[in-house]
Structure 1
Amino acid sequence: MDKPTPEGFARRIVDLGLADRREVEHSLGELGGGEMTLDSVIEQMQRRGHVTTLQTEKIVRGDRAGYFYGDYKVLYLIGAGTFARVYRASKDGEVFAIKVLRKRFRDEPKEMEQFLREGRMGLRLRHPNIVSIYDVIADTRNPFLVMEFVEGQTLRELVRIRKQLPVDLSLKLAHEIASGLSHAASLGISHRDLKLSNVLISSDGRAKLVDFGLAALTDRKNPDQIADCPNARAIDYAALERGTGVRKDDPRSDVFFTGNMLYHMIAGVPALTETRDRLARLNVSRFQEIKSITEFAPDCPGIVTQLINKIMEYNPQKRIQSAAAMQAEIKRVMDILEKGPVATNSEGQPEVGGQYEDDDVPTDEGIGYVVMLVESKAALQNAIRERLKSRGYRVLIIQDPNRALARFDPMEDPPADCVIFSAAELGSLALEAYNKFASDEHTCEIPSILLADRRQAKIISEARRGPRRQLLALPLKVRELRMGLVKVLAGTERRPLGTY
């Protein structure tokens, strides 16, 4: 198609609704009365912000569509993959990212459904470390997702530019990735396509997960389903899960591939060799013969090497068991590095009396349980919450004992499976709430624990006893709290993943 005339180019801007007629005419008037060229008009319109380079290219080509998706005006192309394109777009002065399914997939029911499921699933995910999806437009001719626009770059671009990232920055980003994954896991959602290009780094340095497209294909209703390879994006996950004999959508797969990203950030190269060869990617030796990170980063602290080894353990039973446990373990390592070196034994493990105990090793024993902690002291709140989260529990914090009791409405399902009342600061208020919780008809069968200082003799003597009640003395060791929870929760059915 012939290029438009200078006047025709300006007219198209108005006809397409990209800019107001008066603004365009005013900008043309600024060029003076001389002969206008197409290049001079384009330069003026772009300088005045009436069109972007993408819009200019489309007008010159004679494109009739693609300038708007719904009410969202397309500004720039910011990402393109096999499956979809992502544009920067604006509406009412705000900036968004618009993800558009490629035309060749719009007549394919499977691809269309996967795309829309990704959007519907994303509507449920609201977390600082996950890119938000605000709307799903299911138009069969022009399906698109309205997403949060993140000013920044992908983690792949950051690593390509900087080659190797500092250990502290790598751990920070991995911790944020694990935080996003932990939130998604609490809703029954795994990612299943974790790689550097699916992590955005915002301009303020925050990691944000994007593209949960393959998560939409997971099937938790069939625990025996064998991992499959519906497309090239799923091969790595399927190869790991088949090789280790676990079901499709095992939550520990996301843990492993987070480790691959952490390894890549520190080493400058991925732990798993990158190849397009399908057979090579399905070969389990690729997961078993990973070189030590010290070959590429000899100054990597031993505790970080151990962390990566636990995250990327080939045997799923020995691997860190959940995103929440991984998040807590990364945080623990970050804290240790910040405090300085610790004494270790001949196996590289911290000695007894060091900065953490064997009992601090994360597990997933609390998966499926919600614990409410009634405590007014922030330091104790944080300590207990982090210890329990690292074991898979979801922890609710309430400062006022009476508000905690009010949360248990007889007409509604209980918000927690166990309540921990701490009398260290709350004193008799905690005791009264604990005893009332144990006697009220609608809560008497729900487990509870009272934490009391050994010097609070009156509180200890007046606390109700029972098979689903525990009294634990402060200061508290992790093992004592764990054993207390295990005892009182015995017989309590775990909540299905994604319902708490």
Structure 2
Amino acid sequence: MRFSNPLELEDFLLQQRLVEPEQLRGGGDLPQTADELLSDLERRGVLTSYQTGKLRRGETDGLRVGQYRLLYRNAAGSFARVFRGCSVEDGSMVGVKVLRQRLASDPRAVTLFRREGELGKRLKHKNIVPIYDVGQDGDQHYITMEFVEGGNFRDFIKIRKSFSPEEATKYVLDIAEGLNYALGLGLTHRDLKLTNVLLSAQGVAKLVDFGLAGNDNGLSQFEESVDRAVEYASLERGTNAPANDPRSDLYFLGAIYYELLTGVPPYPPTKSSAERKDFRRYCNIRPLRSVNPSLPSNVIQIVERLMEISPSDRYQKPAEVIADLKDVLGQSADSKAPATPGPQDRPAQPTVICVETRPKQQDALREYFTKHSYRVLMLGDPQRALQRMKTERPAGLVVMAEMSEHEARDFYAKGIAACRKSGTAFILALSRGLNSLRDELAASPGVSRVLAQPVTLRDIRCAIEELRAAAK
């Protein structure tokens, strides 16, 4: 459905509750076309680039499911897509997992999808992403869950390349504790991989996607039909492991540990189903010591035992590896050696809160500041950033969101007040249309810097560091 004029588009947006009535007018000239209205709403952050892109293509489905607006697509697989969603009722952010449309008419796929959601609602643990609800809107099936500010470990590996032994051990301990809790309910994960572990902005690893969690033998009819857990099935066939063997999760926990420590996977990544089914792929693992000889011997021993090809030679339960991981962290904390300081001996990683709605710019900010040893908390709404300032004491607040002149003035005043209280460096990067505000806003005293376009990421980082140094 394509919109012939702005009024027709406005009616649709209001009917679908994609915008509020007061958001339709930004105070400038009235848009003359539907495309101009979309550009204005995206510039002001009312709609996201994902939403305007679909509307420009005449696609009116996939913008809302149930009471949730779909803001961005965060991940996509052969079975489902995951979005950042926003409740039209209270504005709360959630993760929304939507079954792919081509599978919506497949009863087996729908059963598996709903099973994931209903089972996930039972799992209440700090290292497992909680499931809130399982719903259906027309022919769309969806699951809502906690929205984790952060990303999955595959994304972090692309940026960080690898983690220190202490960091990797702490995160693997988080995963193991989630697995141990699930096993206490009789469940194994059965799809453990980097993309199914999220790292929150608070530095907590959380398991997601228990869609193949094993507690019934009838599940086997679904597994490989949706191209999931092929690795599990191949490993277990080659080792004659029993169904729903918890030791299979431990093998793939070892694979995650290996990659976090080295930045390279233990076996070659491939999309070929035939290669993934080849048992030899899981046997011929390059020794961890040869990849990184500097790793502590106790860490290497844990990885090797987790990845023993014979299930009887592995740890038998998550509780066993938890004990050894805690010993490693305890030894690191007690160590005086400068090469492997304990977590409490390292300086705290400064946090920078970034406000940006555009996915490409979000990725660039996250990658740049992470490389310069900052913890990055990415938000899309300036007002939410001010709320987080009440609980966080970040080193910097960087705002790059598109705003009107009125919104920029108002937010700048509020941002100054919040940053003075917390001693935070406040950087407002104006959009090109607002460059004329620079002198006016820059005249305000405080811990702020107003930057006019063109602005580089280095400009922003240097401004933060200069303001922090001046504050000292």
Shorter-normalised TM range: 0.5 to 0.7
Q: 1:229 offset after TM fit, Å?
A: 4.0
Structure 2 residue 47 is matched with structure 1 residue 41: no
Distance 2:221 2:41 in 1: 56
Question: Using the alignment, how far apart are the partners of 1:277 and 1:226 within structure 2?
Answer: 21
Q: Counterparts of 2:35 and 2:57 in 1: how far apart (Å)?
A: 14
Deviations 1:382-402 (A, max 9, x none): xxxxxxxxxxxxxxxxxxxxx
Contact conserved, 1:184 with 1:190, CA < 8 A, in 2? yes
- 2:176 is aligned with 1:169: no
Query: Could you list the per-position Cα deviations for residues 312-349 of structure 1 after superposition, in whole angstroms to 9, with x for gaps in the alignment?
Result: 1112112101112222221112212332399xxxxxxx
| 1:79 aligns with one of 75, 81, 85 | 75
- From 224, 247, 256, the equivalent of 1:252 is 247
Matching residue's letter, 1:80 = A
User: Counterpart in 2 of 1:63?
Assistant: 59
Question: What displacement does 1:65 show?
Answer: 2.7
Distance 2:109 2:117 in 1: 13
Kept in 1: contact 2:86–2:92 (CA 8 A): yes
Tell me the matched-pair count: 335
1:208 corresponds in structure 2 to: 206
SS at match of 1:58: helix
Equivalent in the alignment of 1:233: 228
Task: Work out whether residues 77 and 86 of structure 1, in 8 Å CA contact, stay in contact via their aligned partners in 2.
Answer: yes
CA contact (8 A) 1:238 1:248 kept: no
Equivalent residue number for residue 158 of structure 1: 156
CA spacing shift, 1:237–1:319, aligned 2, 3 Å: same
What one-letter code is carried by the residue in structure 2 that aligns with 1:12?
F
Residue number in structure 1 paired with 2:464: none
Task: Give the deviation of 1:181 after TM superposition.
Answer: 0.7
CA contact 2:149–2:200 (8 Å) conserved in 1: yes
Q: Could you say what secondary structure the match of 1:76 adopts?
A: strand
Shift in CA distance, 164/100, structure 1 to aligned 2, threshold 3 Å: same
Equivalent position of 2:108 in the other structure: 110
1:32 to 10, 26, 29: 29
Partner of 1:194: 192
Q: Secondary structure at the match of 1:144?
A: strand
C-alpha distance 172-9 of structure 1, shift in aligned 2 (>3 A):
same
The residue that corresponds to 1:14 in the other structure is 14
Higher relative contact order (CA 8 A, sep 6+): 2
Mean Cα displacement is larger for which, 108-117 or 61-70? 61-70
Unaligned runs of 5+ in 2: 338-472
- CA drift of 1:242 comes to 1.4
Please say if residues 175 and 205 of structure 2, whose CA atoms lie closer than 8 Å, have aligned partners that are also in contact: yes
Stretches of structure 1 that go unaligned for 5 or more consecutive residues are: 343-500
| Cα distance in 2 between the residues matched to 1:127 and 1:150 | 14
Instruction: Give the Cα–Cα distance (whole angstroms) in 1 for the partners of residues 81 and 275 of structure 2.
Output: 28
- Map 1:366-377; keep pairs closer than 5 Å: none
Q: Partner of 2:327 in structure 1?
A: 332
Q: CA deviation at 1:135?
A: 0.7
* 2:312 alignment partner, SS class: coil
Q: Compute the displacement of 1:22 (Å).
A: 4.3
Per-residue CA deviation, residues 181-205 of structure 1 (Å, 9 max, x unaligned), is: 1111111111111110111111111
**Does residue 257 of structure 2 align to residue 262 of structure 1?**
yes
1:275 — aligned with what? 270
Deviation at 1:175, TM superposition (A): 0.5
Rate the CA distance shift 1:307–1:197 in 2: closer, same or farther, 3 A: same
Structure 1 CA distance for aligned equivalents of residues 325 and 178 of structure 2: 14
CA contact (8 A) 1:89 1:96 kept: yes
Aligned residue type for 2:51: Q
Q: Is the radius of gyration larger for structure 1 or structure 2?
A: 1
- On the 8 A contact 2:68/2:86 being kept in 1, the answer is yes
What is the TM-score when the length of structure 2 is the normalising length? 0.66
The 2-side partners of 1:6 and 1:271 are apart by 54
Higher mean C-alpha displacement, 97-106 vs 229-238? 229-238
Counterpart residue identity of residue 133, structure 1: I
Seen in structure 2, the aligned counterparts of structure 1 residues 119 and 14 have a Cα distance that, compared at 3 Å, is same
Residue-by-residue CA offset, 1:47-71 (whole Å, 9 max, x unaligned): 4443222221222222333222111
2:191, 2:212 within 8 Å by CA — same for their partners in 1? yes
Pair 1:299-2:294 in alignment? yes
RMSD: 2.5
Residue pair 1:240, 1:284 contacting (<8 A) in 2 also: yes
Once the two structures are superposed, the pairs formed by residues 302-381 of structure 1 within 5 Å of their partners are: 302-340=297-335
Query: Structure 1 residues 113, 56: closer, same or farther in 2, change over 3 A?
Result: same
For 2:105 and 2:240, how far apart are their aligned partners in 1? 36
Native 8 Å contact 2:171 2:204 kept in 1: yes
Counterparts of 2:46 and 2:283, CA distance in 1: 55
> CA offsets, 1:401-426, max 9 Å, x none?
xxxxxxxxxxxxxxxxxxxxxxxxxx
Q: How far apart are residue 90 of structure 1 and its match? A: 1.4
Q: Distance in 1 between matches of 2:239 and 2:221?
A: 11
Please give the secondary structure, in 1, of the residue aligned with 2:311.
Answer: coil
User: In the alignment, is the contact (CA less than 8 A) between 1:4 and 1:60 conserved in 2?
Assistant: no
Q: What is the CA-CA distance between 1:83 and the residue it aligns to? A: 0.6
Q: Is the 8 A contact 1:133 1:145 kept in 2?
A: yes
**Is the partner of 2:254 in helix, strand or coil?**
helix
More displaced, 48-57 or 77-86?
A: 48-57
User: Are the equivalent residues in 2 in contact too, given 1:228–1:248 (CA < 8 A)?
Assistant: no
1:96-133 deviation per Cα after TM superposition (whole angstroms, max 9, x unaligned): 11111011111111111110100011000011111110
2-structure distance, mates of 1:228, 1:78:
24
**What does residue 124 of structure 2 align with?**
126
Q: CA deviation at 1:286?
A: 2.1
Q: CA deviation at 1:40?
A: 4.2
Task: Tell me by how many angstroms 1:94 deviates.
Answer: 0.8
Alignment of 1:360-439 (within 5 A): none
**Could you say what secondary structure the match of 1:147 adopts?**
strand
Whole-Å separation in 2 of the counterparts to 1:89 and 1:229: 29
* Residue in structure 2 matched with residue 286 of structure 1 by the alignment: 281
Q: Give aligned-pair identity as a percent.
A: 38
Contact 1:226 1:248 in 2 (8 A): no
In structure 2, relative to structure 1, the CA distance for the partners of 1:240 and 1:104 (3 Å cut) is: same
Relative to 1, partners in 2 of residues 1:139 and 1:64: Cα closer, same or farther, differing over 3 Å? Answer: closer
Structure 2 CA distance for partners of 1:31 and 1:130, relative to 1, 3 Å: same
How far apart, in 1, do the equivalents of 2:84 and 2:193 lie? Answer: 22
Distance in 2 (CA, whole Å) between partners of 1:226 and 1:144 is 22
